[in-house]
């Protein structure tokens, strides 16, 4: 592992160039350029607000902040992993002919996506801490916001681990691409992206009577990170906002124990992804 890190450090210039290339090429032929990294989440917020309030008639107030705290981490997670899964295959001709540390390719994807991720948060804070206050719909500063940078780093670690894993796996099984797009298309409805995690707890008597089912659900690192982002940036919102039947339900407090466990899982995933990539990386050029 030490060797690989030293090699990456030696090639840091190349890593920088790969990141710059990713950032440059992505929106190069588009008129709106970088705006395309913030337009999709805003459109999603608009559509889902309409769905909740207009179609389902929920009382959901100030929904956009709650939606965005889910959508920003989720789109980073899903689009980065999808990009990374293709990264080795896309650069296959280069890998076959020129030596470079193979890790650099998926890592460049992760870093360039992280730039868009951070840009998304900059827009979020600019909108809700500054602009929205003029219209009295902003969000207040809360002390828990100090944990925000930690959560960003944690998600980047998680995404790096999974990205390395799927990038290597996709060389041998291109099913990965289809599997991921299917999973990601559906997971957005099951994970607490478009609603707070409490809603899962309140779905049925079964879950309410067996709290461990909910805790098991929250062990999923990405669910737990999105939930932590909400707890860190926003004040709890009554579950009745998303489900009219839950008039007397209380919002669940942040559960630090489950979060710690899921953080350990994140670190294990990171280590596993790194190890798997390392084991497979010399077989890339000899793939069947």
Site residues (vs another protein, CB under 8 A)? 10-11, 13-14, 16-18, 21, 24-25, 28-29, 93-100, 282, 285-288
Output the smallest distance, CB 159 to another protein, in A.
24
Residue 130 C-beta: closest distance to another protein, Å: 36
**What are the φ/ψ torsions at residue 283 (nearest 5 degrees)?**
-90, -10
Q: How far is the CB of 175 from another protein (least distance, A)?
A: 9
CA distance 43 to 68: 11
Helix/strand/coil percentages in the chain, nearest 5: 75, 0, 25
**Which residue, 150 or 172, has its beta carbon nearer to another protein?**
172
**What is the secondary structure of 11-52 as a DSSP string?**
THHHHHHHHHHHHHHHTTT-SSGGGGGTHHHHHHHHHHHIII
Instruction: Output the smallest distance, CB 88 to another protein, in A.
Output: 14
When the beta carbons of 231 and 280 are compared against another protein, the nearer one is: 280
What is residue 255's three-state secondary structure? coil
Please say which residue, 72 or 171, places its beta carbon nearer to another protein. Answer: 171
Which one, 98 or 206, has the nearer CB to another protein? 98
- 139: left (phi > 0), else alpha (psi -120 to 50), else beta? beta
Instruction: Identify which of residues 153 and 285 has a Cβ nearer to another protein in the complex.
Output: 285
Q: Measured from the CB atom, is 231 or 281 closer to another protein?
A: 281
CB of 147 to another protein, least distance (A): 37
Shortest gap between Cβ of 267 and another protein (angstroms)?
A: 29
| Cβ-contact 102, 95 below 8 angstroms | yes
Q: How far is the CB of 286 from another protein (least distance, A)?
A: 6
The neighbour count for residue 285, using CB atoms within 10 Å, is: 12
Residue 74 near residue 188 (C-beta atoms within 8 A):
yes
Nearer to another protein, 11 or 184 (CB): 11
Q: Classify burial at 254, counting beta carbons within 10 Å of its beta carbon; exposed 0-12, middle 13-18, buried 19 or more.
A: middle
Torsion of CA 210, 213, 218, 221, to 10 degrees: 160
Instruction: Give whole-number Cα distances, 179 to 2, 12, 113, 185, 248, in Å.
Output: 33, 32, 21, 10, 40
């Amino acid at each position: 592992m030490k060797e690989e890190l030293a090699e990456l450090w030696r090639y840091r210039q190349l890593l920088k160039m790969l990141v710059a290339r990713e950032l440059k090429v992505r929106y190069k032929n588009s008129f709106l350029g970088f705006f395309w990294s913030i337009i999709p989440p805003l459109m999603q917020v608009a559509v889902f607000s309409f769905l909740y309030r207009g179609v389902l008639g929920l009382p959901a107030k100030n929904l956009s902040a709650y939606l965005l705290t889910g959508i920003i981490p989720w789109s980073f997670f899903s689009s980065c992993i999808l990009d990374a899964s293709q990264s080795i295959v896309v650069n296959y001709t280069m890998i076959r002919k020129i030596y470079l540390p193979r890790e650099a390719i998926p890592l460049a994807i992760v870093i360039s996506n992280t730039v868009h991720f951070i840009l998304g948060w900059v827009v979020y804070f600019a909108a809700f801490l500054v602009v929205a206050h003029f219209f009295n719909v902003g969000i207040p500063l809360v002390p828990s916001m100090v944990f925000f940078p930690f959560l960003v780093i944690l998600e980047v670690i998680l995404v790096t681990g999974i990205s390395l894993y799927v990038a290597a796996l996709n060389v041998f099984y291109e099913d990965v691409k289809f599997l991921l797009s299917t999973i990601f298309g559906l997971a957005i409805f099951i994970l607490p992206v478009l609603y707070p995690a409490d809603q899962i707890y309140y779905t049925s008597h079964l879950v309410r009577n067996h709290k461990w089912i909910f805790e098991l659900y929250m062990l999923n690192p990405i669910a737990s990170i999105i939930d932590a982002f909400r707890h860190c940036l926003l004040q709890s919102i009554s579950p009745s906002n998303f489900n009219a039947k839950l008039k007397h339900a209380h919002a669940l407090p942040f559960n630090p124990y489950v979060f710690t466990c899921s953080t350990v899982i994140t670190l294990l995933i990171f280590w596993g992804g790194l190890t798997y990539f390392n084991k497979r990386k010399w077989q890339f050029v000899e793939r069947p």
